[in-house]
Amino acid sequence: MTHIKTLLVAVVVILLVPVARADGPKDDDAMRLDVAPRTPFAKGTKTFQAEASYTQHIRYSVEEMTSGGVGVGYYIFDNHCLTLMANGFHMNQAFDRGAEAGSVTVMGRWHIFNPGRLTFYLDGGGGYSWANEAIPIGGTTYNFNARVGPGVGYQVDDNIYLLGGARYFHLSNGKAHGAEKNPAYDGVEFYVGMLFAFR
């Protein structure tokens, strides 16, 4: 009789375990209480940003440049974003040959460290520009441009960040018409901006 009771208890337990499992969480994600992303810049986050900059010439360059731009971005991995930027800029040049130009640039950003409301990152990229005057003087109206440097962001609201930093900036036509037609330009670009993140 004891063996029969033990067998019946075992059968009941075996039958009830699948029912209990079916009523419980389906997977580990359902048991997680933290719904916040691992990083404020998680994969899939979309961004809109606007920035203004001033570029101080270095090396053999003598021109100064001011610029403004807007861009849309997408985080392809956690903390790694690709952004398409459109910029307009003015370059001061001698002999009343100041130039206005527009450029399209693809930028990458890597958030290295995100303590609290702060984020420290590196960004950089390259693009193409067109101007109404040769820039620098003696060059061409079209150029390739590249920039790279460190930056810092501060979260002022849930999805809004203030950005600021400095980048090495280079502009040239890649010697498309020979070295004598490629004076090139080098500078340090100081910028401030706003980033809006949409998760």
> What is the Cβ-side half-sphere exposure of residue 49, based on CA atoms within 13 angstroms?
29
Question: From the centroid of its chain, how far is CA 48?
Answer: 10
Neighbour-count burial for 83-101, b at 16+ CB within 10 Å, e otherwise: bebebebebebeeeeebeb
Is the per-residue pLDDT at 172 higher than 90? yes
As a whole number of angstroms, the distance between CA 138 and CA 152 comes to 36
Give the residue-averaged pLDDT of 76-98. 93
pLDDT number for residue 50: 98
pLDDT for the residue numbered 166: 98
- DSSP, residue by residue, 159-194: TEEEEEEEEEEEEE-TTTT-GGG---EEEEEEEEEE
pLDDT the model gives residue 3: 43
Q: How many CB atoms lie within 10 A of CB 141?
A: 14
The mean pLDDT of 116-141, rounded to a whole number, is: 94
| CA–CA dist 140, 183 (Å, integer) | 9
Helix and strand numbers, DSSP H then E, in the chain? 2, 8
Q: Which has more pLDDT, 14 or 130?
A: 130
Supply the pLDDT for residue 96: 79
Query: What is the reported pTM?
Result: 0.78
Q: List the domains of the chain with CATH numbers.
A: 46-198 (2.40.160.20)
